[in-house]
Structure 1
Amino acid sequence: MLLESIGVFLSLGAYLAIAIPIVGALVRLRTNYNPKSIQLDAEGNVEPHTGPIVTSFFGMLKRVKRIEGWGGLYKGTMPALLETVALTLFVIVALDTGAIRYGARAPNTGILGSLAYATVALILNLPAVVVTFRSITTPYRLPWFNPVYSLRVLLTPTERRKPWIIYFTPGLLAAQFLHLAYKIIFIGSLRRLLLPSLPSREDNWIGNISFWKLGIMLAVGLVSTVILCPLEVIASKLAIQRNHAAPEYNSVAQEVEDDALNNEEYAEYTGAEEDVIGLRHEKDPYLGLIDCAKKVVNEEGWQALYRAWWITALSGLANALG
């Protein structure tokens, strides 16, 4: 049992070592603000957008390494590690004490049961997603073993006083829920109808498969990218949008208070003269899921909703097979 547990955590370490730079580049690419037209400065004067223009996943990966170095590639490691360890311990203790393994599947309780299970997991996991995404996109260097300081950088004073306000980030919970509901209700129901033998993983499941039905499922998984990728892009943009309560600003706009923190940016540490990504001004926030979609299309073009679409497509193919 002990050796098996050690093996699980070693595999977790290897997984995170590979996954974190990939997730970091993906989050940065999708949250990078790259408007098509001129912008207005704080005084209302017209000024051209001077932020980075990065349109490819591998281009973003190279940019992160060039500007922030290896440390930048592994931004978000600590919140991701804590989240993964907590989830794994929960699986070990509560769900699968007899067969410890990373990535255990949710209980097979039907479509509604799976949706309920995933919804609870989504709600519990949402703050971790927000902290991880903000850790990845912040230009500031965060200490690995000082979570109090890091949270002061990542969260606004309002969010620290009322942490539940994160759940009211406009449109975020809706985008996340629609994403998992589509996969569970539509794709899951279709998979149960066309490929009922797949979830059981019986020894002879290959012989029970109709390959034209398998082709339909793979096509559905691929076409679902049209719906799922925009939801992922929108959720990424909304997750890094901080909540504020300063009366002179919009309720989700940037507060004046800097919290008396002396923050060092990665660009200053590495000697770079620019940040990895540009972010949309917080004084003009997204007001919800639909508002975010409209503003992204109007300001950045509809292509911005399909950044790194091929990663969503690969995930959709895997999800189509269970």
Structure 2
Amino acid sequence: MLLGFFDIIVLFLSIGISLLIVVPLTGVLVRFRANYNPKALQLDAEGGAAPHTGPVINSYFSMMTRVWRLEGISGLYKGLMPTAISTFSVTILLLIFMETPKPRHGRYRAPEASLLGTFAYSIGMMLVALPTAVITYRSITTPHKLGYLELSKSLRVLLTPTERKKPWILYLTPGLLAAEVLHIIIVILILSPLHRLLLPAVVNPELDPTDISVWKAAVYFVILAFATIIVAPLEVIATRLAIQRNHASSEYNSVAQEVEGDGEETVEYSGTDEDVIGLRHEGDPYTGLVDCAKRIVDEEGIMTLYRAWWVTLLGGLASAFT
């Protein structure tokens, strides 16, 4: 079913309005999960013990307040352009190539297919979206002001020379693909079949949506809560790995940051020398998914893996009952 001109205008207006709401909330979430807050003393340049001087933020809303105080409204909308470009591009492709009589922003389902077909589709969509996600996360966490229309300059800030010459190296970021694939396996191959089994009235439009068994819904909620115990750390790990830049240098290992030839003259947010978040030193990077999880637990504590876990749980509930 083709959409009329008026329907398309309304659709894109609704997307724009939703972006104005979603982008600040997502930006705060990314920064909260990316903030590096070691619990132990750090070694200074001379090998002596020195306390960590970075910001200590213990909640999502504390991070939101901090972003507003230090960077204002423009700081809350960091990451707007890559998010908007990605969202509008995907929407246009869906309108052109897929039969979507009632497309809605923020939620789209894979085409009706077998379980493995849906899994393959999800993997494909993840691979297409991964570079944009990496750029979005980095644009959110950078202390630099990036112009909304200065694409080339922004890419020089966010990507290393190696990444600009070999964009495919983003897929080789240690542990990132593994974290994303595990996330999809849990959602598509485990939660999705259980969702269809326990809440068929929600999945099948031919059934009465009010005909939902209370005890089956309760069982699914328990399953979703246990899944959150695994999925929430994967989301934190994926955030940490996405902002870890790749380079090739004989002086450092394969994922350490290049020291020279990688800078770009940019303006930082004025009014304070205080950074919104602390970032782990790129000279000692995570080398994979397991290494990232282990170092987070050892350096920052296990609860760091569960930052904003309630966002993951609420997202699962929203997906299950809408």
Q: Please list the CA deviations of residues 253-303 of structure 1 after superposition, one character each: whole Å capped at 9, or x if unmatched.
A: 11112445212111xx2x112010000000100000000000000000001
Contact kept, 8 Å, 1:79 with 1:132, in 2: the verdict is: yes
Moved more, 67-76 or 88-97: 88-97
* SS in structure 2 of the partner of residue 197 of structure 1: helix
Contact kept, 8 Å, 1:191 with 1:321, in 2: the verdict is: no
* TM-score under structure 2 length normalisation: 0.95
In structure 2, what is the equivalent of residue 272 of structure 1? 272
Query: Does 2:300 match 1:300?
Result: yes
Query: Does 2:22 match 1:19?
Result: yes
In structure 2, what is the equivalent of residue 174 of structure 1? 178
- Aligned ranges for residues 46-195 of structure 1 at < 5 Å? 46-96=49-99, 98-102=101-105, 103-195=107-199
In structure 1, what is the equivalent of residue 5 of structure 2? 2
CA distance in 1, matches of 2:133, 2:45: 31
Q: Which amino acid aligns with 1:216?
A: V
**Could you tell me the percent identity over the aligned residues?**
53
Q: Which amino acid aligns with 2:209?
A: W
Query: Does 2:182 match 1:198?
Result: no
CA distance in 1, matches of 2:307, 2:248: 32
* SS in structure 2 of the partner of residue 198 of structure 1: helix
Contact kept, 8 Å, 2:179 with 2:289, in 1: the verdict is: yes
After superposition, the CA RMSD in angstroms is: 1.4
Contact kept, 8 Å, 1:224 with 1:316, in 2: the verdict is: no
Deviation at 1:205, TM superposition (A): 3.1
Q: Which amino acid aligns with 1:280?
A: R
The structure-2 alpha-carbon separation of the partners of 1:23 and 1:3, relative to structure 1 and needing over 3 Å to count, comes to same
Query: Does 2:217 match 1:214?
Result: yes
Moved more, 7-16 or 295-304: 7-16
Structure 1, gaps ≥5 residues long:
none
Q: Please list the CA deviations of residues 130-156 of structure 1 after superposition, one character each: whole Å capped at 9, or x if unmatched.
A: 000000000001011010000000000
Q: Please list the CA deviations of residues 219-243 of structure 1 after superposition, one character each: whole Å capped at 9, or x if unmatched.
A: 2122221111000000000000000
In structure 1, what is the equivalent of residue 315 of structure 2? 315
CA distance in 1, matches of 2:32, 2:297: 16
How many residues of Structure 1 are paired with residues of Structure 2 in the alignment?
318
The runs of 4+ residues in structure 1 deviating greater than 4 Å are: none
* TM-score under structure 1 length normalisation: 0.95
